[in-house]
Chains A and B, each alone.
Chain A
Amino acid sequence: MEFTGAQILMKVLKEEGVDTIFGYPGGAVIDLYDELGRTDINHILVRHEQGAVHAADGYARASGKTGVCLVTSGPGATNTVTGIASAYSDSIPVVVITGQVPSKLIGNDAFQEVDIVGITRPCTKHNYLVKDIKDLAYIVKEAFYIAASGRPGPVLIDIPKDLTVALAKYEVPDKIELKSYNPTYQPNVKQLQKVVQLIQKAKKPVIFAGGGIILSKASEQLTTLAKRSSIPVTGSLMGLGGFPGTDSLWLGMLGMHGTYRANMAVSEADLLIAVGVRFDDRVTGKLDEFAANATIVQIDIDPTSIHKNIPVSVPVVGDAKISLEILNQLIEKQGFKDIETQRKPWLDTIYNWKKETPLTYKQTDIIKPQFVVEQLYEVTNGEAIITTEVGQNQMWAAQYYHLSKPNHWITSGGLGVMGFGLPAAIGAQVACPDKTVVDIAGDGSIQMNSQELATAVQYGLPVKIVILNNRFLGMVRQWQELFYDKRYSHTKMEHAPDFIKLAEAYGAVGLRTEKPSEVKDVLKKGLSIPKTVIMEFIVDREESVYPMVPAGAPITQMLLV
């Protein structure tokens, strides 16, 4: 029996367990949509294709599954590029299916034709142009395998329109095996034995946990390691939630806007165990002074992450979860004795750093953005799924919403995409209908994808949007204040829509306050409404994110409040 390309695609999607697609129809995918409409796959019609990829990204991070996105050729495809690049930077498994003009028109500058495979080659983990209907089924299957395995990432499949109606038998392999792709999950145990010795000897050890902990679902193993061996833990932006943010061993985030104690601890550490991180420049600051006193262990599934920016003494290529599991077993066998006594001076030093230089801000009679995030943390018991936009809002969210669970923190970490938070919140809410999902936004970034309010309302998704409105592009303004003599060149956003009316225009609810005393009530009220709600807080215009390490400086050189 033969099937059309559209039927074959849907069959593989079902086999891969896809229950939701974020997308936008168009000419080149009209037959795919016709077939999609006959299946029970849930489709979320976004308002812009960029939103579709961010939503698929948010869905993937909240659910731990692969996000799927379907768009048409040409502009539909090019609109996905920012979303794809963001998912690539953050290693998020997303499969993007784009329509293409009919095979015989490819290369003819046809209407809505673009070489999306060429355009996305540097920002996808892999991509395909399907040339023969016989290849379609295995390509789709292979795409899902590649997206989710090893270091995950986005994979794009470009399907010419004629292939969606061409006929072929449905033949898929049970298992995908590629001679040129075989990620290393199992670590070298000898290397891990070295790590055990290092942990036992270390006087000032620190664990540095990144997004790899979340992706490999290694939070439990990480927590066991830290507690069993009394090692304090810091995280990259992507690693937040991988270790309980309320635990006494938690140091807070590391890097440019990291906590004082995290930056000091890493700088003074004699052993740094980095797991699932890539030593981004926002984390390391000046490279040759980063963790200069430490023996560095790095565990990562991607060999290119090792030795890329920072020379490593003990490299371990492998899956974070499996590696930590083995490491924990080895430690049990070794039977650390009196490790807590051994660590006490180090943990005391860290405690003093925390006591003397905590994260802080000065409260006045104007709302401080940090205060809003703190109050949100309280009102939601720290249990909401938090998405963010990019800039100050993102950093305050990272600093003051003490994430304690994996898959609850969804931010565009590597690429830093303004406009990410709302569509990502939509994706997360679709994945977790019973959870409170809050997008912490700025007045600038919310305007980059505010059209997705319509999507949220259409599907009855009760996402909450907290806008910290300072009428500035705050992070750039902060840099201008600190490093450009307060020349606020084009960062004043004097005019924004009336966000209450904007919410109402879309059929959502809008709330606003400018009084610190009302912050909690507005949050409580907004969170209790089972609809899409914007909560706007008029905050101190020139509040800055501290600590701050100037770009290129060592991370011990922090500007403090």
Chain B
Amino acid sequence: MAEKRHIFSILVDNKPGVLSGIVGLFSGRGYNIESLCVAETNEPDVSRITMVSIGAKPVIEQIKKQLYKLINVIKVNDLTETEYVQRELILIKVTAKQDQRAEILRIVDIFRGKIVDVGFEHYTIEVTGPVEKLAAILKMLKPMGIKDVARTGNIALPRNL
């Protein structure tokens, strides 16, 4: 069965050990985690975990049910079943020698990124967008020499509730 990428938006009680329970569920049952992002929601006693996982349909179904089974999980949404917006923030430290700098600035401009740090031989670039956009800028910058990358992982919300 074809494996697909799914974005789970999981509302949980904001208590210690809850994240550990979810991560343990994934490792214990051999489910994939592509990315994971956790923070409080507008209600301080509720956190939102945005988790990207890859799997065939029965596995994804089982993940959803297993998540619900955890006592501290309030709501699980598989956003890929609905319309949603997703964003991820990436910081890219790229080699930027004198003769490359203009080209890098052009690329950053095209992707509506920002230079957030500069050194004698590097730029650190901040870009926000859906995963495809981040993949594209990484591809463009690769020939310059990427020194390091930090990504937040996906966050997402459904478009209409």
Interfacial residues, chain A to chain B (CB-CB below 8 A): 117-118, 121-122, 125-126, 129, 146, 178-181, 302-304, 307-308
Contact = CB atoms under 8 A, between A and B. Distances in A.
A303 B70 CA distance: 12
Contact of A126 (B12, B58, B68, B71): B71
B13 interface: yes
Contacts of B72: 180
Mostly, the B contact residues are helix
A303 B28 CA distance: 19
B65 A117 contact: no
Contacts of B73: 180
A303 B17 contact: no
Contacts of B65: 303-304
Contacts, number: 36
Contacts of B16: 129
Contact of A121 (B12, B17, B69): B17
Contacts of A181: 71
Given A303-B68, A304-B69, A179 B74 contact: yes
A113 B144 CA distance: 52
Contacts of A117: 17
B20 A118 contact: yes
A121 B68 CA distance: 15
Contact of B69 (A122, A178, A302): A302
26 contacts: A118-B17, A118-B20, A121-B17, A121-B20, A121-B24, A122-B24, A122-B28, A125-B71, A126-B71, A129-B17, A180-B12, A180-B13, A180-B71, A180-B73, A180-B74, A181-B71, A302-B69, A303-B65, A303-B68, A303-B69, A304-B62, A304-B66, A307-B58, A307-B61, A307-B62, A308-B62
Interface residues of B, number: 20
Interface string B11-22: 011001100110
A351 B28 CA distance: 44
A35 to B, nearest CB: 27
Best-surrounded residue of A180, A302, A308 (most CB of chain B within 10 A): A180
Best-surrounded residue of B20, B24, B62 (most CB of chain A within 10 A): B62
A179 B65 CA distance: 16
Interface in B40-71: 58, 61-62, 65-66, 68-69, 71
A129 B21 CA distance: 14
A304 B150 CA distance: 36
A181 B72 CA distance: 8
A308 B17 CA distance: 26
Given A180-B71, A180-B72, A307-B62, 9 more contacts: A117-B17, A118-B17, A118-B20, A121-B17, A126-B71, A129-B17, A146-B71, A303-B65, A307-B58
A122 B29 CA distance: 10
